Structure 1
Amino acid sequence: PLAELRPPAFPMGGLQSQSLLELLSTLDVASRDPDVTGIALRLDGAPRGFARALAVQRAVADAATRKPVIAYAESFGTADYLIGSAATALYGPPAGSIGLVGLRVDSFFLHDLLERVGVRPDVLRVGSHKTAAETFTRTAMSPEQREQVEALLDDWYGLLVEAIASGRDQTPDAVRDWIDRGPHRAGRAEEEGYLDGCRYPDEVQDEIVSRSEGAEKIEDLRVIDAAGYHALRAGDPGWRPLLTDLPRIAYVVASGGIRRGHGLRGVASDVFRGLFERVRRDEGIRGMVLRIESPGGDALASDLLWRSIMLVRKDKPVVVSMGDTVASGGYYMAAAGDAVLAESGSLTGSIGVVGGKLDLSGLYERLGIGRDAVERGARAGIHTETRGFSPDERGALREEMRSIYDLFLDRVAEGRALERDAVARVAQGRVFSGRQAERHGLVDALGGPLEAIAEVRKRAGLVPGERIRLEVLPRIPRLDGLRGLLGAASGLRLRGLE
């Protein structure tokens, strides 16, 4: 799957994947390059996230208006087919299949398991729809959770159907019927107009040759892979020394859970505050795109990062680009941007607070573990796992959480230039798709990384077409890049894009 940040090359060479930004840039530049006669896409292994898949689908559709785009997959998952539907021609082998059967959100609940082993969740929330802890406290979705998941799935499914209908010149009703009858063999998909033909790879090569003027065989063409083309023509943002005086745009990727302190995993507040301060102080950086992919995390860290982004915003434009999930603390950060762009299928919002602990006293008793303690201070045991909250502790915690929630509303209202009451009406922990969030004023427009870069260029006063250099941050240390970056789960698992 496409990562937000490309890991550094293996020290002894070998194949290297592209980041999402690099793939989008490659498709855009190649489609405008007079030396490129066409683009071939091998779709097996498309990005899993819905927002990222929509971003690539939109880039393919745009490229196909300028150059022929030939797409092929041995078998199609939902994301593969979504992207391929925008191509000029879409092929699969005769024995291939299209596993397009719709979308499903799975939620798992641990209440009964925890009860069985003597663990009792003691959880508080501020926000009627702040349902993150329901995994531990319930055995099924609450009415509030089901309401918002139904609304999300309706919107996501509508986006999927609309994109396929547009790409394959079908009606939305026909696409819905076709999905309901899935999965499909390649032959039936060709008969019904959802593939342009059943082709083996060598036959797809022949098709490419037939579309290329002056070529009689594939060897007559100069074929270059996406990574190689990107290095030659589309630039190599953030990975080579900055050897020119071109205006620079910082492209900062904040991916993973938000937490306090240092470290390379997730969005560590000290690390990213340092990055934002570096961007603010560097006079050669004309603006910043902040690409966020985070389900949230620590409230204090989120507020510290909000402040750091606001300081950058005082000196240069900041445009936020949302990935698949930008919720809770992730949205807290996003609200600090001059402009916020989301993909139609982004998951965002969740303006609320949840907190609590697990009472392990029952587990300790079953295991024969004795615990005793000596305390000084009326609330010294508020965080102990040997009991639940006392009424006094619960009241204190609720007051603290309410204060954090009020601050969250204030920060969103200030960053988004909205009335606080308007923010409160769409808060309460509710989650939205990017398209829904735009209607509620939580984002400014729909778009992806390339649109965010164009917006920050405009706000920085750069001349259209003027060359710039992107500085991609943070840089991944070589050995850590080999291990991969650890992200955080969103809590909602969307099946059908895997």
Structure 2
Amino acid sequence: MRIKEWQKIALVVVLTLFVGVLFYTTLFRVTTEVSLDVKPGSFLQLNLSGEIPERVVENPIAEVIGGLPNISIQDIVLNIHKAKRDKNISGILLHLGPLGIGWGKLDEIRNALQSFHAAGKKIYTYLEMAGDAEYYLASVSDTITTIPTAIFMVNGLVSEPLFMKGTLQKLGIEADFVAHGKYKNAPDIFTRESMSDAQREVLNAILDEYYQRLVDTLSVSRGLSRTETQSILDKGLLNGREALAMGLVDTLMYFNELKTHLTGKDDSKRRILGFKQYRKVQPEGTDISTSDALAIVYGVGSIVIGGEKPYEYDNLITSEGMANSIRKAAENKRVKAIILRIDSPGGSGVASDVIWKEVVKAREKKPIIVSISDLAASGGYYISMAADTIVAHPGSIVGSIGVFAGKFAMGKFYNKIGMNTEKLQRGRNADFFLTSQPFTPEQRKILRHHIMTFYEDFLQKVAQGRHMSVEEVDKIAQGRIWSGKQGYQNGLVDVLGDFNTAVRIAKEMANLPVDKPVPLLIYPRIKSFWERLLLEGFQNFATQPVFPLSSLPEPLQNMVKAIPYFQTGEPLFLPPFIVDIN
């Protein structure tokens, strides 16, 4: 269909107006970013809800259409520490909504808030709806406020794995997978109708540890005995008044009332600063007098074979992208140590091995420290294990040293929908990965040998990197996931701590002054919005969804994004199940 002349003109006008608005918005934002005068006695307001990514990509389109600009975990931690040193900031006002982050990121933020509190500054938290994660974070506060109708589901932890074998059978789809390791049951979601004994054992161990830490933390923070805390958790559901009576909160107060309480009726001397305002403030005592630097190489998302572009923008770890970033950091003479910031469930075995090799080569030139966020499982651990030092939170997930491969046999499904295939073949196993049929006994034997080769190689490299025997590694491998604390106890983790812990260790290993700031060089550098617009063209950029897959849990988002990149027959290093403990 041909576009009429008036339609062309209208399209040009609309695009011109749109680009003009973007340009004006960006220009206004840049020209108004002047130094902010923070008045003595000010409060930093920190609104946290939803997912909090490791990195964010600038997207003025989202801001223009009303989407809130994302903030990263490092943005939050950096500004909390900045506020801690700022003599004009007397406290933090924490406004918490439902959070979609793991226990590693929760600890990262909570540790920063504890450090702020230890400096003699106050934390006030406002809650309208709180589950275990939100209240765990809020418990660091001096004062917790809520409203009478608030909903408190601070009721303990639960994990509910999903099993789809029966569903697939009804559709005529057979999940045909081969895995090695007692606990490497990643395909169980498709091949079983209920939980295996091995999966039950692992989940119970994780739940026991997380629950004990939750009870202990809340008991200390709120001045309760463990018995009292467990009794409150067992209530299941509380409103604001009941939470007050139980000692979970300190007072009933609406948010604007709390702000007035903190600032007084006259706000001319004491201010509440939004996060967007305060991030423009130049931190005190951060003048950098050295050219020596630390490199931060991000490994966030599922691991796939691929080039640079998906690594920069799509929350995927590509073999070429991350390997190149590690190589650039190793070759940069300014960089004295490299920190790998890992938040990954794993993925391609081949891609993981390419990245691992680059870590080994870089370690010959300078120290390598791994900082684990929520997750470094299977392939995520594979790319970490060659580092000099591995740092993890007690609540991080690590390990899952195992491998699986397979396919979905769709033949019966094709019959159900009236679709037919015919096969012409040369070579006895040319039909190895045809989706119309399951594996033959010979093919299953070949596939098992193939994944055993990968598993044995995995064990050897863990043993090499962790200075253990292969037999010792095999005992804690078998595809089993561990908490960061458990990983520390069995030798998979060296130090329990957060990103700042990793920075301190990197400085020490690089012989840099621990108490002085150094530049952090970030890899890969994310191009600005205008760079991407000019390099890729408006059409390519505009067709990317502003909030892709946002309705799915973050670990599942990462796996779904990776599916198009996985190769037929490729061994996968993925955790045995998506760990979702609420």
TM-score, structure 1 as length reference: 0.92
Question: How far is 1:484 from its partner?
Answer: 5.3
**Equivalents in 2 of 1:132, 1:275: separation in Å?**
30
Equivalence for 1:88: 142
Question: How far is 1:350 from its partner?
Answer: 0.7
Equivalence for 2:113: 60
Question: How far is 1:140 from its partner?
Answer: 0.6
Equivalence for 1:252: 297
**Equivalents in 2 of 1:276, 1:292: separation in Å?**
13
The alignment yields a C-alpha RMSD, in angstroms, of: 2.3
Tell me which amino acid in the other structure corresponds to 2:206. Answer: L
**Equivalents in 1 of 2:141, 2:498: separation in Å?**
19
**Equivalents in 1 of 2:471, 2:162: separation in Å?**
34
Tell me which amino acid in the other structure corresponds to 1:54. Answer: D
**Equivalents in 1 of 2:317, 2:446: separation in Å?**
29
**Equivalents in 2 of 1:109, 1:182: separation in Å?**
26
Structure 1 residue corresponding to 2:424, chosen from 348, 351, 374: 374
Equivalence for 1:483: 546
Equivalence for 2:87: 34
Equivalence for 1:492: 578
**Cα separation, partners in 2 of 1:35 and 1:318, compared to 1, 3 Å:** same
Question: How far is 1:13 from its partner?
Answer: 6.2
Question: How far is 1:259 from its partner?
Answer: 0.6
**Equivalents in 1 of 2:250, 2:346: separation in Å?**
43
Query: 1:129-208 residue pairs with structure 2 within 5 A?
Result: 129-208=183-262
Equivalence for 1:213: none
> Is the Cα contact below 8 Å between 1:94 and 1:200 reproduced in 2?
no
**Cα separation, partners in 2 of 1:453 and 1:483, compared to 1, 3 Å:** farther
**Higher relative CO (CA 8 A, sep ≥ 6), structure 1 or 2?**
1
Could you tell me the percent identity over the aligned residues? Answer: 27
Query: 1:239-388 residue pairs with structure 2 within 5 A?
Result: 246-262=291-307, 263-264=309-310, 265=314, 266-388=316-438
> Is the Cα contact below 8 Å between 1:82 and 1:160 reproduced in 2?
yes
Equivalence for 2:172: 118
> Is the Cα contact below 8 Å between 2:62 and 2:69 reproduced in 1?
no
- Mean Cα deviation higher: 65-74 or 296-305: 65-74
Tell me which amino acid in the other structure corresponds to 2:510. Answer: A
> Is the Cα contact below 8 Å between 1:70 and 1:208 reproduced in 2?
no
Equivalence for 1:406: 456
- Mean Cα deviation higher: 8-17 or 345-354: 8-17
Structure 2 residue corresponding to 1:467, chosen from 517, 522, 533: 517
> Is the Cα contact below 8 Å between 1:294 and 1:488 reproduced in 2?
no
Tell me which amino acid in the other structure corresponds to 1:172. Answer: R
Tell me which amino acid in the other structure corresponds to 1:249. Answer: L
**Equivalents in 2 of 1:359, 1:494: separation in Å?**
28
Secondary structure at the aligned position of 2:432 is classed as: coil
Secondary structure at the aligned position of 1:475 is classed as: coil
> Is the Cα contact below 8 Å between 1:343 and 1:434 reproduced in 2?
yes
Tell me which amino acid in the other structure corresponds to 1:382. Answer: F
**Cα separation, partners in 2 of 1:60 and 1:390, compared to 1, 3 Å:** same
Equivalence for 1:457: 507
> Is the Cα contact below 8 Å between 1:246 and 1:467 reproduced in 2?
no
Q: Does 1:74 align with 2:128?
A: yes
Tell me which amino acid in the other structure corresponds to 1:443. Answer: V
**Cα separation, partners in 2 of 1:259 and 1:187, compared to 1, 3 Å:** same
**Equivalents in 1 of 2:96, 2:152: separation in Å?**
12
> Is the Cα contact below 8 Å between 1:292 and 1:330 reproduced in 2?
yes
Secondary structure at the aligned position of 2:79 is classed as: helix
- Structure 2 unmatched runs, 5+: 1-50, 533-540, 549-556, 561-574
**Cα separation, partners in 2 of 1:469 and 1:45, compared to 1, 3 Å:** farther
Equivalence for 1:44: 97
**Equivalents in 2 of 1:41, 1:376: separation in Å?**
66
**Cα separation, partners in 2 of 1:230 and 1:471, compared to 1, 3 Å:** farther
Question: How far is 1:482 from its partner?
Answer: 7.2
**Equivalents in 1 of 2:547, 2:204: separation in Å?**
34
- Mean Cα deviation higher: 181-190 or 82-91: 181-190
Question: How far is 1:86 from its partner?
Answer: 0.5
Equivalence for 1:99: 153
Equivalence for 1:232: 281
> Is the Cα contact below 8 Å between 1:94 and 1:198 reproduced in 2?
yes
Equivalence for 2:35: none
Tell me which amino acid in the other structure corresponds to 1:391. Answer: P
**Equivalents in 2 of 1:390, 1:170: separation in Å?**
61
Tell me which amino acid in the other structure corresponds to 1:19. Answer: S
Equivalence for 1:240: none
> Is the Cα contact below 8 Å between 1:103 and 1:494 reproduced in 2?
no
- Mean Cα deviation higher: 274-283 or 376-385: 376-385
- Structure 1 unmatched runs, 5+: 211-215, 238-242
**Cα separation, partners in 2 of 1:24 and 1:395, compared to 1, 3 Å:** same
Question: How far is 1:374 from its partner?
Answer: 2.3
Tell me which amino acid in the other structure corresponds to 2:298. Answer: V
Tell me which amino acid in the other structure corresponds to 1:93. Answer: I
- Mean Cα deviation higher: 482-491 or 317-326: 482-491
Question: How far is 1:493 from its partner?
Answer: 4.9
* Residues 136-163 of structure 1: CA deviation (Å, up to 9, x unaligned): 1000111111111111111111222222
Secondary structure at the aligned position of 1:218 is classed as: coil
**Equivalents in 2 of 1:234, 1:115: separation in Å?**
60
Q: Does 1:108 align with 2:158?
A: no
> Is the Cα contact below 8 Å between 2:395 and 2:484 reproduced in 1?
yes
Tell me which amino acid in the other structure corresponds to 1:494. Answer: D
Tell me which amino acid in the other structure corresponds to 1:396. Answer: I
> Is the Cα contact below 8 Å between 1:86 and 1:168 reproduced in 2?
no
Equivalence for 2:23: none
**Cα separation, partners in 2 of 1:90 and 1:152, compared to 1, 3 Å:** same
**Equivalents in 2 of 1:360, 1:248: separation in Å?**
53
**Cα separation, partners in 2 of 1:12 and 1:369, compared to 1, 3 Å:** closer
Question: How far is 1:377 from its partner?
Answer: 2.3
